Amino acid sequence: MKKLTVLLLCLALLGACAAPLQDGPEPLIVSQTEELVALLAEHGFALDEQYWSQEITRHTHLEVYARYFRNAEDIFIGITVYEFASTEDAQRNANFVQPNGLTIERPSDDIHRYVTSISFISQPHWFLHDTMIVRYVGSNAEFIDVLTEVLGEHFAGHGIVNPR
């Protein structure tokens, strides 16, 4: 119980420290996310959307809100999807994620940066594909293989030793 309380406190502090988005247009929900979820289902990993981070908080680690998906049978199979308006926006945001996958450094203006260090329950794997950044936290080799087949090699996180 004590560990759960500490974990919840850490998550609350992490949410409070994340950089707020500026007011502007609603984040995009483009069909590419649904296409990804459908492809994963075809490979035997059916995922249901759990929530959209804008419903929970006005803060995010990257420049768009995340969407969270989980497998009903295995809670350790799930992804976080950030979808952007363009591949250039996705690439710029991918550059905020440090090679170890545990730190995100996002500029707030010409001088300051929002820096977030995240402790995950397992190894993160960050994938960049077209207008999406997809994060998987876990060690299911079969799921990682499917993500790699569908999205390409991960750019940050577990096993990445060389900076970009």
pLDDT in tens, 102-137: 888 887 776 767 777 777 888 999 999 999 999 999
Average of per-residue pLDDT across 41-50: 92
State the Cα–Cα distance between residues 47 and 159, nearest whole angstrom. 25
**82 C-beta neighbours (distance < 10 Å), count:** 26
Place of tokens 């995010």: 60
Whole-number average pLDDT of the chain: 77
**Percentage of the chain exceeding pLDDT 90:** 45
Estimate to the nearest angstrom the gap between the alpha carbon of 51 and the chain centroid.
13
Q: Long-range contacts: 135-139, Cβ < 8 Å, 24+? A: 135/79, 135/80, 135/82, 135/101, 136/78, 136/79, 136/80, 137/78, 137/80, 138/76, 138/77, 138/78
What crossing angle do the helices spanning 141-151 and 31-42 adopt, rounded to 10°? 130
Sequence spans of domains, the chain: 2-157
pLDDT at 119: 74
Helix (H) or strand (E) holding 113: strand 113-117
State the Cα–Cα distance between residues 48 and 61, nearest whole angstrom. 22
**Token pair recorded at residue 111:** 């001088």
Q: What angle do CA 67, 8, 64 make, to 5 degrees?
A: 25
Place of tokens 């490979």: 43
pLDDT at 86: 95
